[in-house]
Amino acid sequence: MRNASLWRSLLGVEKTVVEGIEFDEDDQLLVAHVRPRARVRGRCGRCGRRSPGYDRGEGRRRWRALDLGTVQVVLEADAPRVACREHGPTVAAVPWARHGAGHTVVFDEQVAWLATQCSKSAVTELMRIAWRTVGAIITRVWTDVEALGDRFAGLRRIGIDEISYKKGHRYLTIVVDHDTGRLVWAAPGRDKATLARFFEALGPDRCAEITHVSADGADWIAAVVAQRCPNAVRCADPFHIVKWATDALDEVRRQAWNEARGAVRKRRAGRASGHAKALKHARYALWKNPENLTTRQQAKLAWVAKTDPRLHRAYLLKEGLRLVFQLPADEAETALERWIGWARRCRIPAFVELQRRIVKHKASILAAIEHGLSNGRIESVNTKIRLITRVAFGFKSPEALIALAMLNLGGHRPVLPGRK
């Protein structure tokens, strides 16, 4: 093997002429002087179109390559500009790096693989780069991966949800494919305009192919889905519906606790005790499913039934709604109608308000029961994104976080250089 071929293999470059190698012993730095081959020279760095020369640019520049053992490696070459018809004066493309990058393609690919497999400290220590640089690299890699394939192909049943990714009420809207479990789209924000961007990227023809959409009861999601996918079956996520009932139950429990605490204060000054204290610690007994209660929690629930009939009635309403989702589709509609009537007459304001929400979303609730569709997969993806968010803390923009999430959960995990 000739020296030039050997160095091309070691440096991980193609369509490149290695002109010479220098080694700086003081800085422990290996500098490879390179240039593109004639047939790939003189192309626009943005679109790749062959263009006439414009000027010599800012002279020679360097790109960081993968280390050789413990020695850092850089590629050095001229960086002339070309006059592109579309983009104007632009730095000419080079075969070993992406446009605007300060690292080679194989360096980017290794960083992206490590970011999906290792901890933050491991990536930065091994590759000798800052974490913000990792974010920029991941964004570049995902942009190229996205351009290679069609992530919306075959999309039929989707789930939509939002997740907070940073302090200060910053959210991502995410879309997951129910059939594959892949994260297919994510963007910062949680409003109609944000979700409309997904359907615009999908296009009207593919919007018409969507058959089912699951989501929580957010009005902004329902409005956009109804407008963009009028023929799709909209399914309300059972977990969120039952959570509404749990929140209403907790509101009743807090009211009962405050009333008991106020009664104690009227009798004597001092801390709440007795009935008020017992109600305060009844929360988990009221929240948990009956089959999961401990012996102590079962006793607490029996105490609530004897001492506070109103709170116990609220608990039974919560359990009644939960059981509706466990019934067959042909029985669920009748059971839900009965529950709505019960809640309407219960004289508990929180559950009277809840039944109005249930009536509003009744069609999508029954559709979820009929088609067995929930946001369970979407919540699983949300959990993984939360873990990724912890790793991605310190990225300069949400685009880097989204790129890392897509590389991890979008079915396009990066591969180490030199591996198939």
**CB 23 within 8 Å of CB 30:** yes
Mean pLDDT across the stretch 134-143?
A: 94
> How far is the C-alpha of 18 from the C-alpha of 76, rounded, in Å?
10
Q: Residue 2: what pLDDT? A: 62
pLDDT band at 272 (very low <50, low <70, confident <90, very high): very low
Assign 110 to helix, strand or coil.
helix
**Beta strands 170-177; 157-166: pairing state:** antiparallel
Residue 266 has pLDDT above 80, yes or no: no
Q: What is the pLDDT of residues 295-351, one digit of tens each?
A: 988 998 899 889 889 999 999 999 999 999 999 988 999 999 999 999 999 999 999
Q: What is the pLDDT of residues 78-92, one digit of tens each?
A: 999 999 999 999 999
Residue 118 has pLDDT above 80, yes or no: yes
- Residue type (1 letter), 186: A
Q: What is the pLDDT of residues 365-403, one digit of tens each?
A: 999 999 988 888 888 898 889 888 887 777 878 899 999
pLDDT band at 228 (very low <50, low <70, confident <90, very high): very high
Burial of 340 per CB tally in 10 Å (0-12, 13-18, 19+)? middle
- What tokens does 286 get? 């009221």
Domain boundaries, the chain: 1-100, 238-371
Assign 310 to helix, strand or coil.
helix
